[in-house]
């Protein structure tokens, strides 16, 4: 019995003793396997920590240097990046526009300062006044009427005031005041022309005074005797035109023309309207118009009869009737009356 117990004890002791070296062998094998696994990883390094790899909390590798913080990772949405880029571009564009505006403002300011300085300086002083487009007025008359101040410049001259001064003259229908640098002011005038000469009875009705009248009814001037002192101061063009236009005669007493005003006499205006409205060959043959009354206005025809034309209506039809009557009587007609164009009358010569 004793022998069996001893054998069991011996075998148990031998098993306990043999199990200890096996645990140490396994423990020693684990570090070796770990080092081999670290060496076999891609980019694996030989451990500088005694060949052992230790798992760190959070799965992070140990820092290579003491005191160095591992950068933290943050998540950003793609839309946030686009907005940030757009904001940066907008700010850059805004700053660039501000710079441009600043440069432009400085340039404009410099121009204004320079312009004001030139405006109040003596640059471009008017040395001469030229006049063109006048025939019935003289250049000296125009310069005197313009009233250009002495010593003024092309920049400071009041062109509108000069124009108003010139338009007060009855002959001036329109005028343009032009600056010709460096020192000339030009007056470009459009004159009225004489449409007719009206024989106006004088105040005592003993004689008549010829008045030049324009096509728009403006009284231009009384025509003085050519040999008088006033006639010698008058342009020769006035007498030339007066001799070539028709005459309005037999004007009623009391007609009062005034230079620079429009004619208000109904008889004279009716005569002007008739002559202005005629379009046939008859118009060129009218030499005079008797304007005693509107209804009895009479045309004097060169190498033809007197025509009682009447008022200035149905002008074209009255012309046609007159020409037809004259054509039907080649031997001549002494008198034609077309006041009532539907019932014309005439008298053969």
pTM for this model (two decimals): 0.66
- Please say if the pLDDT value at position 47 is more than 50: no
Q: Which CATH number fits domain 128-191: 3.40.50.300, 3.30.470.10, 3.10.20.310, 1.10.10.10?
A: 3.10.20.310
- Please say if the pLDDT value at position 90 is more than 60: yes
Distance CA(41)–CA(246), nearest Å, equals: 126
- Please say if the pLDDT value at position 45 is more than 80: no
- Give per-residue pLDDT as tens, 165-195: 999 999 999 999 999 999 999 999 999 999 9
* Two structure tokens written together for 137: 């007025």
Least confident of 6-15, 71-80, 161-170, 229-238: 6-15
Least confident of 114-118, 240-244, 292-296: 114-118
User: Residue 88: its pLDDT value, please?
Assistant: 83
Give Dmax (Cα) for the chain: 198
Higher pLDDT: 96 or 118? It is: 96
- Please say if the pLDDT value at position 75 is more than 70: no
Higher pLDDT: 244 or 57? It is: 244
Q: Which CATH number fits domain 194-348: 3.40.50, 1.10.357, 3.40.1130, 2.20.110?
A: 3.40.50
Answer whether 47's CB lies under 8 Å from 38's CB: yes
User: Residue 62: its pLDDT value, please?
Assistant: 52
- Give per-residue pLDDT as tens, 234-279: 999 999 999 999 999 999 999 999 999 999 999 999 999 999 999 9
* Two structure tokens written together for 93: 């564009």
Q: How confident is the model at residue 135 (pLDDT cuts 50, 70, 90)?
A: very high
């Amino acid at each position: 019995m004793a022998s069996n117990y001893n054998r069991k004890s011996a075998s148990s002791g031998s098993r306990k003793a043999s199990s200890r070296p096996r645990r140490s062998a396994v423990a020693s094998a684990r570090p070796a396997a770990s080092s081999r696994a670290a060496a076999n990883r891609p980019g694996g390094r030989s451990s500088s920590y005694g060949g052992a790899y230790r798992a760190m909390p959070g799965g992070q590798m140990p820092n290579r240097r003491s005191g160095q913080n591992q950068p933290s990772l943050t998540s950003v949405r793609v839309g946030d990046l686009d907005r940030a880029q757009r904001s940066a571009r907008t700010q850059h564009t805004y700053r660039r526009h501000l710079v441009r505006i600043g440069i432009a403002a400085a340039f404009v300011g410099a121009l204004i300062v320079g312009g004001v300085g030139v405006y109040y300086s003596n640059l471009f002083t008017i040395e001469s006044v030229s006049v063109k487009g006048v025939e019935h007025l003289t250049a000296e008359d125009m310069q005197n009427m313009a009233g250009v101040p002495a010593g003024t410049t092309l920049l400071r001259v009041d062109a509108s005031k000069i124009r108003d001064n010139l338009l007060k003259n009855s002959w001036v229908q329109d005028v343009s005041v032009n600056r010709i640098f460096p020192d000339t002011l030009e007056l470009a005038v459009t004159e009225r022309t004489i449409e007719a000469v009206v024989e106006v009875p004088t105040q005592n009705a003993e004689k008549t005074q010829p008045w030049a009248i324009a096509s728009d009814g403006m009284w231009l001037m009384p025509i003085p005797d050519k040999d008088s002192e006033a006639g010698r101061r008058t342009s020769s063009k006035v007498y030339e035109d007066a001799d070539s236009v028709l005459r309005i005669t037999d004007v009623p007493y009391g007609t009062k023309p005034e230079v620079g005003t429009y004619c208000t006499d109904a008889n004279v205006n009716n005569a002007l309207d008739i002559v202005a409205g005629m379009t046939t060959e008859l118009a060129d043959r009218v030499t005079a118009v008797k304007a005693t009354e509107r209804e009895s206005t009479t045309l004097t025809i060169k190498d033809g009869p007197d025509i009682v034309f009447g008022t200035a209506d149905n002008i074209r039809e009255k012309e046609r009737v007159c020409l037809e009557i004259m054509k039907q009587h080649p031997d001549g007609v002494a008198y034609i009356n077309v006041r009532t164009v539907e019932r014309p009358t005439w008298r053969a010569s």
